[in-house]
Structure 1
Amino acid sequence: MNAVSELRVMAYTADGLVNVNPAHVEALRLLGADGRGEVLVAADDERLLGTVMFEPWSPESEIARNADEAEMRAFAVSPGARGLGVGRALVNALVDRAREEGVSRLLVSALPEMVAAQYVYRARGFRRAPDRDLSPLPDVELLTYELVVKD
């Protein structure tokens, strides 16, 4: 899990995203370590290229509201692997995983500055769900996207 944690922190730092909420670094490192959720990774023969976490609904969910929903969390692609389709492959794998679990709606939140991630979400069919936007800290606004996995 250490390599995944470090990739997350490196990717978010490279994009200047930890400046928005420096305390988020520890959350990035720990996400998934408690056994909740499933961490997916993309790698080549030599290195970790990206990661994303599939987290089914639980009472502690941030944006999922019931058992037929799940969240995509901690989406990160190594700066050196961007533009190679790694992010698209990870999101597709996560959608497939949600479908396997019988999830009807997949949700993800993103800082407004996460332009590349939002592009990947929209390209995969995610739509804005402004009624689920969050403000976990003063001056921190998270935009929510949703994908209907099955009707």
Structure 2
Amino acid sequence: MIVRRVLPDEMNAVSALRETAYRADGLLKANPDYVQALRDLGADGHGEVLVAAEGDQLLGTIMFEPWHDHSEIARGADEAEVRAFAVAPQARGRGVGKALVNALVERAREESVSRIVLLSLPEMVSAQYVYRARGFERVHERDWEPQPGVRLMAYCLTLKG
């Protein structure tokens, strides 16, 4: 398995992988309208999509999104966001998520980012396990409710020099 930047002709497969993974975990039930936004992340020029691949098979994906004027949770140029973290159901339990998060952290270091922030649904237990294992901590004051009944929990990793 290698983790690398997505190739231009792989974006449709990445979008499908995201949707499949989120549906498999029941994560789109509370907000079915999020499907299109999830599929489109990275196509607007904000962010860098990384993939874990084995040969020509995509196993998972994560997006590194440096702060910009329309950032969801990042508050300044010293922060970047994790977006659209997804591992294909058939690839789970193989270290794919850990490899993707580690690659994103290294990417943030390359960009001299001080903090990596993210939002997670309470149901994203597996993702939260990976985040906590990498050193992310809950930041309750940044929790957000984008619509009634949809609560997003904030996490942050502070990078040391």
TM-score (normalised: structure 1):
0.98
Give the Cα–Cα distance (whole angstroms) in 2 for the partners of residues 144 and 38 of structure 1: 21
Give the Cα–Cα distance (whole angstroms) in 1 for the partners of residues 41 and 144 of structure 2: 18
Q: 1:121 aligns with which of 131, 138, 155?
A: 131
Equivalence map 1:2-151=2 (5 Å)? 2-150=12-160
Uncovered stretches (5+) of structure 1, i.e. residues with no partner: none
Uncovered stretches (5+) of structure 2, i.e. residues with no partner: 1-10
Give the Cα–Cα distance (whole angstroms) in 1 for the partners of residues 70 and 159 of structure 2: 22
One-letter code of the match for 1:132? R
SS at match of 1:106: strand
TM-score (normalised: structure 2):
0.92
Aligned length: 151
1:111, 1:142 within 8 Å by CA — same for their partners in 2?
yes
Give the Cα–Cα distance (whole angstroms) in 1 for the partners of residues 152 and 71 of structure 2: 15
1:105, 1:150 within 8 Å by CA — same for their partners in 2?
no
Give the Cα–Cα distance (whole angstroms) in 2 for the partners of residues 46 and 99 of structure 1: 28
Give the Cα–Cα distance (whole angstroms) in 2 for the partners of residues 16 and 46 of structure 1: 27
**Greater than 6 Å deviation, 4+ residue runs:** none
Show CA shifts across 1:84-143 (max 9, x none). 000000000000000000000000110000000000000000000011111111110000
Identity %: 68
SS at match of 1:144: strand
**How much is the aligned-residue C-alpha RMSD, in angstroms?**
0.8
One-letter code of the match for 1:146? C
- Once the two structures are TM-superposed, the CA of residue 46 in structure 1 deviates from its matched residue by 3.8
